Structure 1
Amino acid sequence: MEGPLHLPPELWVLAFSYLSTEEKHTVRSCSRHLKKLADHPALWRDYTVVLSELRRYTYGFWHTLCHRKLTRVAVRHLRRKEWRRLVKFLPSLTAIVFMDGGRQYKEKYLDNLSRFPHLRELGVRNATWDEALLGRGLTQQLGERLTHLSVCNVRLPSTVEFIVTVSELVNLRSLLFHQQGEGYGLDTVRPVPRSDFHRLLVSLKKLRHLSWGMKGEPPEPLPDDYFSPEDPNQPGPSSYGGPALSSLELVDYPETLLPENALRSLTSLRSLSVRYRYIRDGVDCRLKTWLSPLQQLESLTIIGGNSLATYTTLIPPSVTRLTLRVAITLKDMDSIAPKVPGLEHLDIEQNRSSGSLCRRIPMLFPHLRTLRIR
C-alpha cells in the first residue's frame, strides 16, 4: 500500500473522479491520506448538499464542507438562528435552494440571504408566503447579484407583485416560475397579465433561459403578442424589446392558451420544451406555426399533446436533439428522418413498435450518437 500512496495527488484525484459519491466516502474512511485526497475540491465541484436541523451538525461536518469548497446547498425549514449558523460556516455559498417549508412565511424570512456576498442562484420550492417572497430591501441588495431564480409550487399573496419585483433583478440569466396559486383559496392559477409579463421581459435583457408554468387558463386565449413585447425605444408592429432567449420551457400548457403565432419573435431560440397539460378536440396544434420561425432550434422536447403527424414535417432541420413523450410509430419516424438529417440524440417512448423502430433507427438517423427508449 505504501507504493500507490506516493503517486502524485492529481493522479489520485483523477482516479477518484470516476467514483460515485458513496464510493468516495468509502475510500476516505480508509486513511487520513485518502480522506484528504477524497475531499479535494475538484471532486465536489457543482455538488449540492441537502441540510436540515442545522443544530445536529458537528464542527467536523462543517469543516469537511468548507474543505471541499462546497458552494451549493438545499435547505429545509430553518429557524432564524440556523440561518445565522449557515452564514457563519458557509459564507461563500453561491446557490441556495429553500424547499418543503412547513409553515406560512413572512417577507423577512429570507433577509439573511443578503449576508451571502457571493450568492448568485436562488430557488424556492413547495412553500407558502403570506407576505412578499422578496422584500424591497432584499431585492435591492440582490438586484445585481442574482443570475438564476427558480420558484416552483409556491403559493404567493400576489403573483403580479412578485413579477414586478423580479423585473428589478436585471442580471437574471435564468428564470423558472411555476406558480401554485394565490392567497388561501383553491389552487386557481391565473396567467400573468400581458402588461406585467411584458414589463418583465423588457427589463430582463440578459435573460437566456425561461421556464414558465402555464397552468391557468383564461376564458379567451392570451394576446398574440404575449411573448413579443414592443421595444419602447423603437415602437412599431415588428419591433421586439424582450431578451434574446436561447431556451424556453412551457410547463402545464393547455393547447388553447397561446395563439398560433405566439413565438414569432423568439427567433433566437435554440431549445424549446413544451409539456402539455391536456389537449382539446377541435383545437389546431399550435406547434405547426410555432416551429416555422425557429430556424436556429437545436433541441426540441414535446411531452404529451397532439399526434406527431400534425407537426413532424415542420421540425426545423437544425434540430440535433429530439425528445418525444408521445405515441410514435414507424411511419412517424420515416416522416421525421428527412427533416432532421443531423440528429444526434433521440429520446422516445417505448411502445409496441419499439422493436421495429430500433432496427430502422440506425438507417434513418446515420449521425445518431445516443438513443434512449423509456
Structure 2
Amino acid sequence: MCSPCLPRGSVMFKSLPAEVWTLVFRLLSHSDRLRVRASCRYFRDLVDNAQWRDWTVELRRSGQEYEEGFWHLLRRWGVTSADLSSTVGWTHVAKGLPGLTTLIISISCLTEMKDLRSFINLERLYVVLHTRARLEELSLVLPQRLMHLKVCSMCVYENTALPTEISPDSPFKKLKSLVYHCDSIPHPVDVLHFFLSSLPELQHLSLKIYSECLYKGHISDLPPLQNCSLSSLELVTCETQTFPMDFMKMLSKLPSLRSLAIFCRYECMDEYDENTLRLSSWLRDLPSLTSLVVSGGNAKGFAGSIASSVTRLMLLPSCFDSWTEDMAALSAQLPDLQHLHLRDNALGSDTAHIPQFFPRLKTLRLFHDEVPEEVFLSLASLQELEVLETLDDEPPPAALVSKFRQLTNNRVRIYNSPKDRWLWTCECSDYISADYWAQVLGTLL
C-alpha cells in the first residue's frame, strides 16, 4: 500500500476517495497506522484527521511540563479525550486542548478539582475519588456543559446524608447519564429516588451502593416521580434481600424506562431463592421493558415475569437447574427474542436447542468450548442470524468458521471476544459497564 517505489504524493494514492482510505486504516493496528502515517504527507494528513479522534491520550506529567509543539500535534490529531495522571497544571491542559470533551481523573482531595471548570467544552467526566465528597461539594466544581458523569469512590461515606435538593443552576441538573458507585449511609432506594426526582434530564443511571440494612420505609409513601426521563437503569452489586418486594413499583409509571440490568450480589440456590422471588416480583411491575440483563437469579424462576416485549436478553452466571427447561420457559415468554447473550460455558450439546427455542435471533453470544462441531454448525439454521460472537479465550478453528460461513452464504458475521473483555474494572468494584452491554445488546441508551 505504501511501497517505496511509489513517489511521494503519487496520484495512485488519490485514486481512491479519502473516505475509503479511512475505512482501510481502521483495520490496521496502532503500530501499522503509525507506519502508514510516516510513509507520505498525504497519508499522514488522512491518519491525523480521522484516526485519533476516538482515542484517549494519557498525560502522565503535569500540564505545564509539555511544550506547545506537543499540544499543537494533539490538536491537529483532533484528540478530544484525556486521562490525567497528575492533578497539577490542569489550566495548561485546558488551554492546550480546548476541544476536550472527555476527561478521566483520579483525586485524593476535592480541592484538586478546583480548576476543572477550565475545561469549558467538557461533556464527559470519569472521576475516581480517594476522599469523601458530598454531592453539593462535587457540584461546585463540575463544568457547566457536563452531560455524562461517572463517580467511583474508594471511601465508605460515613454519616453522609443526601442534600434536601439540588440547586436549579447546578451542573447535575443537565446530566443525561450518571454512574454513581459510592458506598454511603442512605439506602439505595432513597438514593435512587433522590436522583430520579432531582435530575429531570437523566436517561441512564448506574447505581452501586452496598447496604446490609433492610429498607425501613414504604415504596407507596415515596412521592411520585414527576417528569422523569430515565430509559436505562443498572443496579450493581445489588443486595436484593435489603430491597422490598414492591421496589419496582416506584418505577412502574416511568414512560421511558426500557432497559434494566440487575447484578445480584449473591448467586441463587433454586427458583424459590430469595433473589429469584424478588426478581420475579420486580419484573412483573415493569411490563414495557425491551432490554434485560440479569446476573444471579434462577432463569426458570423469573422467566414468567419478564415482559413479552423484551427482545434483548443477557443472562450472566445464573443458576440453571435444567438448561433446556430454563430456556423453554424463556422461549415461551419471549417468542420474539432477537438478541441473546449467554455466559454459561457448560452448554455443550444443549446448544443445538437454541434455534428451536429462539428462531428469530439476530445476535447470539456464547461459549463454543465443548460444543461439538455438528452442534455449532446447527446454529446456521437461524435464518435471521446476523452476528455470532464466541466468548472463549481462543476463537473457533478457522476450518469450522469457514464451514459455518458456507452454510450461511457469508450472511453471518463471526467474532471472538474473550470473556474478560466484557468486564470493566473499577478500582473498587468489578461490574459490567453500561457502555459494554449497550454495545453487546445494541443501542440501548
Q: TM-score, normalised by structure 2?
A: 0.69
Is the CA contact (8 Å cut-off) linking 2:267 and 2:319 kept in structure 1? no
Residue 337 (structure 1) aligned with residue 331 (structure 2): yes
Match of 1:314 in 2: 305
Deviation at 1:49, TM superposition (A): 2.4
Match of 2:111 in 1: 108
Match of 1:277 in 2: 265
Is the CA contact (8 Å cut-off) linking 2:91 and 2:118 kept in structure 1? no
Is the CA contact (8 Å cut-off) linking 1:337 and 1:364 kept in structure 2? yes
How many pairs were matched up? 344
Q: Secondary structure at the match of 1:153?
A: strand
Residue 90 (structure 1) aligned with residue 84 (structure 2): no
Match of 2:233 in 1: 248
Is the CA contact (8 Å cut-off) linking 1:147 and 1:171 kept in structure 2? yes
Residue 170 (structure 1) aligned with residue 173 (structure 2): yes
* Distance in 1 of aligned mates of 2:267 and 2:215: 14
* Distance in 1 of aligned mates of 2:262 and 2:147: 24
Deviation at 1:178, TM superposition (A): 0.7
Deviation at 1:134, TM superposition (A): 6.4
Deviation at 1:222, TM superposition (A): 4.9
Is the CA contact (8 Å cut-off) linking 1:327 and 1:351 kept in structure 2? no
Deviation at 1:324, TM superposition (A): 0.8
Match of 2:423 in 1: none
Deviation at 1:89, TM superposition (A): 0.8
Spell out, residue by residue over 1:96-150, the C-alpha distance to the aligned partner (whole angstroms, 9 max, x if none).
1213x4xx31x3211211111111222112x3125657647835x73x5221111
* Distance in 2 of aligned mates of 1:288 and 1:213: 21
Q: Secondary structure at the match of 2:55?
A: coil
Match of 1:210 in 2: 205
* Distance in 2 of aligned mates of 1:311 and 1:151: 32
Deviation at 1:338, TM superposition (A): 2.0
* Distance in 2 of aligned mates of 1:196 and 1:252: 15
* Distance in 2 of aligned mates of 1:136 and 1:178: 14
Residue 259 (structure 1) aligned with residue 244 (structure 2): yes
Letter paired with 1:308:
A
Specify whether residues 131 and 10 from structure 1 end up closer, same or farther in structure 2 by C-alpha distance, changes over 3 A only.
closer
CA RMSD of aligned residues (A): 2.9
Specify whether residues 19 and 317 from structure 1 end up closer, same or farther in structure 2 by C-alpha distance, changes over 3 A only.
farther
Is the CA contact (8 Å cut-off) linking 1:52 and 1:75 kept in structure 2? yes
- Select 1:360's aligned residue among 353, 364, 383: 353
Specify whether residues 261 and 133 from structure 1 end up closer, same or farther in structure 2 by C-alpha distance, changes over 3 A only.
closer
Q: Secondary structure at the match of 2:27?
A: coil
Letter paired with 2:97:
L
Deviation at 1:77, TM superposition (A): 3.0
Is the CA contact (8 Å cut-off) linking 2:123 and 2:146 kept in structure 1? yes
Q: TM-score, normalised by structure 1?
A: 0.81
* Structure 2 stretches lacking a partner, 5+ long: 1-5, 367-390, 392-445
Letter paired with 1:240:
L
Is the CA contact (8 Å cut-off) linking 1:174 and 1:209 kept in structure 2? yes
Spell out, residue by residue over 1:24-52, the C-alpha distance to the aligned partner (whole angstroms, 9 max, x if none).
22321323321211111x43344322222
* Distance in 1 of aligned mates of 2:81 and 2:160: 27
* Distance in 2 of aligned mates of 1:22 and 1:191: 49
Deviation at 1:197, TM superposition (A): 5.2
* Structure 1 stretches lacking a partner, 5+ long: 181-188, 231-238
Specify whether residues 56 and 22 from structure 1 end up closer, same or farther in structure 2 by C-alpha distance, changes over 3 A only.
farther
